[in-house]
Structure 1
């Protein structure tokens, strides 16, 4: 999931991916690995060229991406989902996985999603 900020209104998906690939900036990607670091997550992500601000934490950006995904799901299904399940590939240790789950919980809280769970990968 990608989000770009090269225009006044954020862009998502393929358009955002193309902007990031073309310019190497103006966008965000790979939030899960950053969220896995919890409070130790860097505020600057050098290879990807972006900086997190107090207003745009990884959880806030993930909430923006999640809201966009919910729009797509609603369009496909014809109704809003009432529950969400997240499956995070088991490439993290317990502490990192807990950090990811906490961050996703905060993102869900930001967009007022109360009914969600984590589905085991294996």
Structure 2
């Protein structure tokens, strides 16, 4: 005797299963990518000046000079050659248990989808 839910699952066509699989993959990729997002930076252009030991800020749209982001002698710069921006707060580093839970969830979801496809109609 079939239950109501079994009939719904058996009645679904392959397009729905493929759509669910694509949604699952999208969710997993989105969750994994959240930890790799860069910190937001303004649209301004920052240029390090090797000769004057400054970091100059320019408008990213017009190219007009705005100000000295780090004035000479104030930031302890001595011939800056490149810039590195990072977030002000330390980013959370996922532990093995979090990654393990994500991997286990993905494995169980894919096994569930595989089992749904293998059921005889």
Q: Larger C-alpha radius of gyration, 1 or 2?
A: 2
Length-normalised TM-score, structure 1: 0.23
**TM-score scaled to structure 2, two decimals?**
0.23
